[in-house]
Amino acid sequence: MAGAGLSTPSGIPDFRTPGTGLYDNLQKYNLPYPEAIFDIHYFMMDARPFFTLAQDLYPGVNYKPNVGHRFLRLLHEEKKLQMVYTQNIDGLERLAGVPDSKLMEAHGTFATASCTLCGKIHNPDRVKEAIIDGDIPIMCEAAMCKGKVKPDVVFFGENLPSSFWDYHHHVHFTDLLLVIGTSLEVYPFAGIVDTVGKTTPRVLINLNSVGSLGSRSNDVILAGDLKDSIWSLTKALGWEEKLKNLEEKYDSSEE
């Protein structure tokens, strides 16, 4: 399970860390409350705050995966990865090589786009171009529809992808749950941690303790910066060389 903390080493602020979190830095948008930037009703009224943020956050434009994302790829290569459930919309797990079949982007993705009124699917590249050029709002192409188009990022007030609920199946076959870089403040995503069986160890990799982690005798808390925790876990697994190679491989593919 991953949250915005997984991407802070890539330079993307998380939401709730006091001072640096996104929700502490939205003054310029004059929002009624911070989460309004991801609220579908507010978006219908004024889409500019979201699109201004999207211009900066657009996946694969300004940011690249970090060691945390590559650790997920390494778990896959070592045949230990069942599924990555992420709340992040930055697409960095995919950029680091986590296969689509093992990635559930519970809060949606920029990879597709649709009309918020009639649901018509739109060309994501055209939507990306319009967002980056600041040519917004993007109106629906369907005749007679006056809807606004947005990337398929899940806003407050919208449903999560139906396949998110497959987690009830996955948790039964999970030997271990890793919870990385999330405050576990937002449901239903946060609820996953309490559905794994009592005999399944839950490992929290986070600056601080969150949610119910620590309440079970077999919970493990790796508190501190996730970069340090990931490297110490990798050392304990004897996978240091493999993780280093992944970094070189990625950097070479970056050119």
In terms of CB distance, is 3 or 140 closer to ligand APR?
3
Q: Binding site for Zn(2+), residues?
A: 115, 118, 140, 145
What residues from 143 to 182 belong to the interface with ligand APR (CB under 6 A)?
A: 181-182
- The answer to the question of residue 211 lying near ligand APR (CB under 6 A) is no
Contact with ligand APR (CB under 6 A) among 145, 220, 225, 245: 225
Catalytic residues: 107
Q: What are the CA-CA distances from residue 211 to residues 130, 163, 173, 194 (Å)?
A: 39, 24, 22, 9
- Backbone angle region of 56, left / alpha / beta, with phi > 0 → left and psi within -120 to 50 → alpha: alpha
> Is 10 near ligand APR (CB under 6 A)?
no
**From candidates 12, 14, 76, 164, binder to ligand APR by CB under 6 A:** 14
- Residue 86 interacting with ligand APR (CB under 6 A): no
Near ligand APR by CB under 6 A: residue from 10, 114, 174, 206 = 206
Selection from 185, 248, 168, 176 nearest residue 35 by Cα? 185
- The distance of closest approach from Cβ of residue 163 to ligand APR in the complex, given in angstroms and rounded to an integer, is 17
**Binding-site member from 107, 122, 128, 202 for ligand APR (CB under 6 A):** 107
Which tokens hold the place of 85? 């459930």
Between 174 and 182, whose beta carbon lies closer to ligand APR? 182
Position with the least CB separation from ligand APR: 5
Nearer to ligand APR, 174 or 206 (CB): 206
Considering only residues 24 to 63 of the shown chain, the ones binding ligand APR according to CB under 6 A are: 35, 38
* Shortest distance in whole angstroms from residue 199 CB to ligand APR: 26
- Of 4 and 47, nearer to ligand APR (C-beta) is 4
Among 1, 3, 65, 136, binds ligand APR (CB under 6 A): 3
What is the 3-state secondary structure of the chain?
CECHHHHHHHCCCCCCCCCCCHHHCCHHHCCCCHHHHHEHHHHHHCCHHHHHHHHHHCCCCCCCCCHHHHHHHHHHHCCCCCCEEECCCCCHHHHCCCCHHHEEECCEEEEEEEECCCCCEECHHHHHHHHHHCCCCEECCCCCCCCEEEEEECCECCCCCHHHHHHHHHHHHCCCEEEECCCCCCCCHHHHHHCCCCCCCEEEEECCCCCCCCCCCCCEEEECCHHHHHHHHHHHHCCHHHHHHHHHHHHHHHC
Q: Which of 47, 83, 87, 122 binds ligand APR (CB under 6 A)?
A: 87
Residues in touch with ligand APR (CB under 6 A): 3-5, 8-9, 14-17, 21, 35, 38, 87, 107, 181-183, 185-186, 206-208, 210, 225-226
